[in-house]
Structure 1
Amino acid sequence: MVGQNGYPIGYDIFSGNTFEGHTLIPILKSLQKKYGFSKPIVIADAGLLSNDNIEKLKAEKYQFIIGARIKNESKLIKKEILEKSQNIEEGNSFIIEKNDQTKLVIS
């Protein structure tokens, strides 16, 4: 976990056979309790992107930004991405709002 300026605040170590997707909520709660801060904005890579983790983040009212894999999206979302990306200029992005109240930012 890092602070506003990007400097490490804390960490935890899990055994090597622990699936990374099962560590997200426990580590967030542990670090919040240990350091006494309110809910952080979670920024994570696609390794933590599971339906279970997203549902837990939403249920616990965390704000989050998680890198997604387009290959895991529905055919409808992939089609929308292809259509909208035809007219996008280099360096720009667009947003697709999904039915589960999450957004994809495509750049």
Structure 2
Amino acid sequence: MATKQGRERRFQRQFDALERLVPALRGPMATLRRDRWVLVRIPLALVLILGGVFSFLPVLGVWMLPLGLLLLAVDLPILRGPISALIIRGRRKGRRLVLRWRHWRRKS
């Protein structure tokens, strides 16, 4: 069983990994993670989650759901473990898909 500090470090490492993956998000994500942004972060997270639920509508997408959950996990420690695990799985799955695509492109 992971300790509370271990889960927190894992969660922070996943944020750092996402910032490296998408450098354009580094500034906004760092700003939103600050404590004084809690009044913006929670409503924004709820709007993103709601938008992800209605992803069948134009403009809204499934991408909004994990982003909203990630922002909500900043303020709700109980979500940090599951969200960290989902980010790790998503990054691994994305890496595998990129490798498959590259392999497929070389064969063509």
What TM-score, normalized to structure 1? Answer: 0.28
Higher strand proportion (structure 1 or 2): 1
TM-score under structure 2 normalisation?
Answer: 0.28
User: Which structure has more RCO (C-alpha within 8 Å, separation ≥ 6)?
Assistant: 2
